[in-house]
Amino acid sequence: PSGSAQPWPDSGSTKQDLQRYENTDFPWSKEAQKQLSDVFQLCKFRPLQLTAINLTMSGRDLFLVMPTGRGKSLCYQLPAVCSPGFTLVVCPLISLMEDQLMSLKTVGVSAVSLNASSSKEHAKWVLAGMTEQETPYKLLYVTPEKIAKSKLLMSRLEKAYHAGKLDRIAVDEVHCCSQWGHDFRPDYKLLGILKRQFPKAPVIGLTATATSSVLKDCQKILSVPDPLTLTASFNRPNLYYEVRIKNVNSEHAMEDISKLILEKYKDQSGIIYTFSQKDAEALAEGLRKKGIVAQPYHSNMEAADKSRVHQQWTANKVQVVVATVAFGMGIDKTNVRFVIHHSLSKSIENYYQESGRAGRDDKPADCILYFGFADIFRISTMVVMENVGQQKLMQMLAYCHTLDRCRRTVMASHFDEVLDDADCNRMCDVCRHGNDYITVDITQHAREAVQIVELADSMSEKITPLKLTESWMGKVPLRRRKMIQVTTLSRLEVEAILAYLLMQGYFSEDFSFTPYSTFFYMKLGRKAALLKNDKHSVTMKMKRNPPSGDSVMVSRGTQRKGGKREEQTKKENGEAGGAPVGTSSNPFSR
């Protein structure tokens, strides 16, 4: 299903009622279709756009939840063009407003804005226009601050409303109303005044945040008594998701990626996202040496170079853009067949967004993420100032570590959407290969690792994840080695366990700032003390058959059967998967 409409509890609407809004026999239907092609130059509606447009044109209050980039704006811009007066659009940022005004200008729709930087004359003209016989613009963009602070604006809106000129009110990024959301803006809290003063003007709230608690909050704040909520699915059925383990040896990922591009993605267009500008340059250089037409892209490049790379890639003259996340805005290439992440994203939302640039033409495309231990800490220090930065990173880490759940259900549940594994259609590595894992008791390993951090602590030393890894593996001077229980685990197993313990709260992050950089140290987490208890145990899921078979853990751990589709595993492993299986000996690797 491409989306669903959920009436609010007690609203009395049913799915059947809503189905009728998918029709094209409304009084405005012909006009809407015509404007879609003539003005907006689009050939057909995307899922839920038509329903949303019909609902708001019918005068219903509406919340529209759709992933970014799917086309929410059209759902109020097209109605604006088909209505006699004007549409008031509340928009949180002047930059967003300017983007919209610019794109409306290119299609010849007249739209204006009022914000802190508007000139006096312009504001005067806009305010006067509101009540003119023939409204001189179709859309009026304002910041919430304007609504909150300008009595003049409110009084003009009042007049326009009573003159029948205020067609509807769109609240973009409506989640900004709610303190539960990630982008709370105090002035959004005051927007309830609009519905109270202009009860007959339909409200349409737009957001990519689907959390029901946030939406309920927004409904209350906006004083909208009985809105409908349309929720587009976040699922991208044509995208194949896979996570591969990145070796300590950074050349490994580079080799693997170039092989993929030369073989599986020969002549196909793609993006590789890297952590840093330096990585982007180096990787692009490495790929070029293999004969791949790759170009770097990052915010430190000259504007002209950036747009040249973008253009050449769009024209299929450059096969691969190796980019930092600066490469994002304004990409509307539809035939992107692969998005490779050379290191993990800072959150699942970011990953969804970045990987989602693949397969916009709805044809199959691959999203492959290389998960490396050291990258966790690079990202962690990068997001150190962000409010819930670490928490989001840990969720991203959990996505990478997943062995027993479909990757797209993990992603979907992040957006409060329920999918079951069948919806995946074996379009992720977990589903495709059968969830072939075992549960291993790692309690003793956890104790050993925690003891090393305690030891460092007792000597008033800070320990980096790298130092911890190496100490545990016995790569320390002899004197120290005597105090440490050295492990026989492989390096990748050590890394997997340390990452898992961090994710589970046995360790936590301890940042240290210098004028030029931030350092990540491991300290004991809130759960570390539990390990003192003999009865406490820690288990972790691991791949049953690591490709090279040299796992120490799998041969001696407590094993429990994992995957319910184990019987299928052999058969499916033989199939042409998303891509060839890597060669690392990591228990998580596929």
The size of the interface with ligand ADP (CB under 6 A), counted in residues, is 13
**Where in 324-383 is the site for ligand ADP (CB under 6 A)?**
332
428 binds, options Mg ion, ligand ADP, Zn ion, none, Cβ within 5 to 8 A by partner type: Zn ion
Residues 420-459, one symbol each (x = binds Zn ion by CB under 5 A, - = not), give: ----x---x--x----------------------------
Distance CA 429, CA 423 (A): 14
45 binds, among Mg ion, Zn ion, ligand ADP, none (CB under 5 to 8 A by kind): ligand ADP
Residues 38-97 that bind Mg ion (CB under 5 A): 72
For Zn ion, the closer of residues 214 and 427 by Cβ is 427
Q: What end-to-end distance do the CA atoms of the chain give, in Å?
A: 29
**Residue 135, SS3?**
coil
Buried b / exposed e over 259-271, threshold 16 CB at 10 Å, is ebbeeebeebbbb
Distance in Å, CB of 46 to ligand ADP, minimum: 4
In the bound complex, what is the minimum distance in angstroms from residue 127's beta carbon to Mg ion? 26
Minimal distance, residue 408 CB to Zn ion, in Å:
5
Residue 326 interaction partner, one of Zn ion, ligand ADP, Mg ion, none, beta carbon < 5-8 Å per kind: none
Closest contact distance (angstroms) between CB of 190 and ligand ADP is 23
Q: Of 396 and 410, which CB lies nearer to Zn ion in the complex structure? A: 410
Q: Could you tell me which stretch among 10-18, 72-80, 243-251, 423-431 binds ligand ADP (CB under 6 A)?
A: 72-80
From candidates 70, 168, 175, 357, binder to ligand ADP by CB under 6 A: 70
* Two tokens, residue 121: 């004359």
- Residue 114, binding choice from Mg ion, Zn ion, ligand ADP, none, Cβ under 5 to 8 Å by partner class: none
Nearest approach, Cβ of residue 407 and Zn ion (Å) = 5
Which of Mg ion, ligand ADP, Zn ion, none interacts with 66 (beta carbon under 5 to 8 A by kind)? ligand ADP
From residue 26 to residue 65, the character string flagging contacts with ligand ADP as x (rule: CB under 6 A) and all else as - is ----------------x--xx--x----------------
Residue 204 near residue 172 (C-beta atoms within 8 A): no
Counting other chains too, the contacts that 407-415 makes at CB distance below 8 Å and 24 or more residues apart are 407/241, 407/242, 407/243, 407/431, 408/235, 408/241, 410/348, 411/234, 411/241, 411/348, 411/351, 411/352, 412/234, 412/235, 414/348, 414/349, 414/352, 415/67, 415/210, 415/234, 415/352
SS (H, E, C) 476-518: CCHHHHCCCCCCCCCHHHHHHHHHHHHHHCCEEEEEEECCCCE
Choice from 3, 5, 50, 72 touching ligand ADP (CB under 6 A): 72
Pairing of strands 166-171, 203-207: parallel
243 neighbors 400 (Cβ within 8 angstroms): yes
Q: Which stretch binds ligand ADP (CB under 6 A): 67-75, 240-248, 375-383, 471-479?
A: 67-75
User: Of the ranges 68-76, 221-229, 253-261, 411-419, which one interacts with ligand ADP (CB under 6 A)?
Assistant: 68-76
Nearer to Zn ion, 237 or 328 (CB): 237
**Distance from CA of residue 100 to its chain's centroid?**
22
Q: Which helix (H) or strand (E) holds 97?
A: helix 94-106
Give me the least distance between CB of 395 and Mg ion, in Å please.
Answer: 24
Residue among 137 and 352 whose Cβ is closer to Zn ion: 352
Interaction partner, residue 431 (Mg ion, Zn ion, ligand ADP, none; CB < 5-8 Å by kind): Zn ion
Name the β-bridge partners of 214.
none
DSSP string, 396-415: HHHHHH-SSS-HHHHHHHHT
Strands (E), 288-434: 294-297, 320-323, 336-341, 365-371
Residues 487 and 260: their CA atoms lie apart, in Å, by 35
Nearer to Zn ion, 25 or 420 (CB): 420
The closest of 352, 358, 361 to 412, measured between CA atoms, is: 352
406 binds, among Mg ion, Zn ion, ligand ADP, none (CB under 5 to 8 A by kind): Zn ion
Q: Do 231 and 70 form a contact (C-beta atoms < 8 A)?
A: no
Place of tokens 């759960």: 527
Within residues 382-401, the interface with ligand ADP by CB under 6 A covers none
Residue 323, classified by CB atoms within 10 Å of its CB into exposed (0-12), middle (13-18) or buried (19+), is buried
Q: Is the dihedral of CA 459, 460, 463, 467 positive or negative?
A: negative
Instruction: Tell me which residue has its CB nearest to ligand ADP.
Output: 71
Smallest distance, Zn ion to C-beta of residue 421, A: 6
Q: By rule CB under 5 A, what string of x and - marks binding of each residue 372-411 to Zn ion?
A: ----------------------------------x-----
- Which helix (H) or strand (E) is 240 found in, with range? strand 239-245
Q: Does 142 bind Zn ion (CB under 5 A)?
A: no
Cα 533 to the center of its chain, rounded Å: 39
Give min distance, CB of 552 to ligand ADP, in A.
48
Residues engaged in binding Zn ion (CB under 5 A)? 406, 424, 428, 431
Query: Rule CB under 6 A: which residues touch ligand ADP?
Result: 42, 45-46, 49, 66, 68-74, 332
- Positions that interact with Mg ion (CB under 5 A): 72
